[in-house]
A and B are shown apart, each in its own frame.
Chain A
Amino acid sequence: DAKTTQPTSMDCAEGRAANLPCNHSTISGNEYVYWYRQIHSQGPQYIIHGLKNNETNEMASLIITEDRKSSTLILPHATLRDTAVYYCIVVNAGNNRKLIWGLGTSLAVNP
Chain B
Amino acid sequence: EAQVTQNPRYLITVTGKKLTVTCSQNMNHEYMSWYRQDPGLGLRQIYYSMNVEVTDKGDVPEGYKVSRKEKRNFPLILESPSPNQTSLYFCASSSAVGGPYEQYFGPGTRLTVT
Spell out A's residues near B (CB within 8 Å): 32, 34, 41-46, 49, 91-93, 95-99, 101-104
Contacts and interface: CB of A to CB of B under 8 A. Distances in A.
Interface of B: 4, 31, 33, 35, 40, 42-45, 48, 50, 58, 88, 90, 92, 94, 96, 99-108
Given A41-B88, A97-B33, A46 B103 contact: yes
A97 B42 contact: no
Contacts of B35: 101
Nearest to B101: A97
B103 A93 contact: no
A70 B96 CA distance: 27
Contacts of B104: 46
B103 A98 contact: no
B31 A103 contact: no
The 4 closest A-B pairs by CB, nearest first: A43-B105, A46-B102, A101-B43, A101-B42
B74 to A, nearest CB: 14
Residue of B88, B96, B100 with most chain A CB atoms under a 10 A cut-off: B100
A97 B94 contact: yes
Given A32-B100, A43-B90, A93-B100, A99 B105 contact: no
A44 B40 contact: no
Contacts of B96: 95, 97
Contacts of B88: 41
Nearest to A99: B103
15 contacts: A34-B100, A34-B102, A41-B88, A42-B108, A43-B4, A43-B92, A43-B105, A44-B92, A92-B100, A93-B99, A97-B31, A97-B96, A98-B45, A102-B42, A103-B40
A103 B42 contact: yes
Contacts of A42: 107-108
